[in-house]
Amino acid sequence: MRYIIADKAKAVAHGFTLHGHRINGNLILLNEKEVECSHALSSAPTLEKKCELIVGTIYTHQGIINELEQGGWNNG
């Protein structure tokens, strides 16, 4: 499964809640299924296009773990 670091304000504007998600400043961490299944992002045909709408970057499992090791993320 892949993970997405997205802009917090853009994600909230597209229906994601902060509650239950890991946050780092103006960033939010989502999983692939959350983005794929988001009704508000359904106009975009692919995960990559959906991520563009929330200014998100896609990471592999290991990639996101490396990213989180940089610190600054709360525990959700």
Partner 1 sequence: METQKKRIRREYAPLTVHTGLVCTTPLSPVTQVYNSNNGEYEPDRSLTPTVVHPDVVAHAKDGSWKTPQANAYLANMVWKVNGVDITTLNAWQGYFTIETVGATRGDITITKNLTPGSYVELSFDAQLADDRLGVNIPIHCDPIILSTVDKSGDDYSMSLGDDQIIQYDPFKDKLHLYEYKVAHGLISASTANREAATDENSYERTIPVTVYKGKDILPTSAYSVRLFQITGITSGVAQLTELTTATDEVIAITNSGVTIDLRLIAKRDYLIRAYVSNELVAERQFSVNRIYPKFTVRPTNGTSINPHDVERYDVAMVDCDGNTVECPESIIKIIWKTDSASLTNVEHGEGGDIVFQLSKTGIGDTYLNDWLDVYCEGDQKEVHSVATDENNDELTDENGETFIFN
Residues at the site binding partner 1, with contacts judged by CB under 8 A = 1, 3, 19-22, 29-31, 33-34, 37, 61, 64-65, 68, 75-76
Nearest distance from residue 19's CB to partner 1, in Å?
Answer: 6
**Of residues 29 and 54, the one with the C-beta less far from partner 1:** 29
Q: Please give the distance of CA 29 from its chain centroid, rounded to a whole number.
A: 4
**Of residues 33 and 49, the one with the C-beta less far from partner 1:** 33
Residues near 8 by beta carbon (within 8 Å), at least 6 away in sequence: 18, 23, 25, 26, 27, 28
Residue corresponding to tokens 């692939």: 32
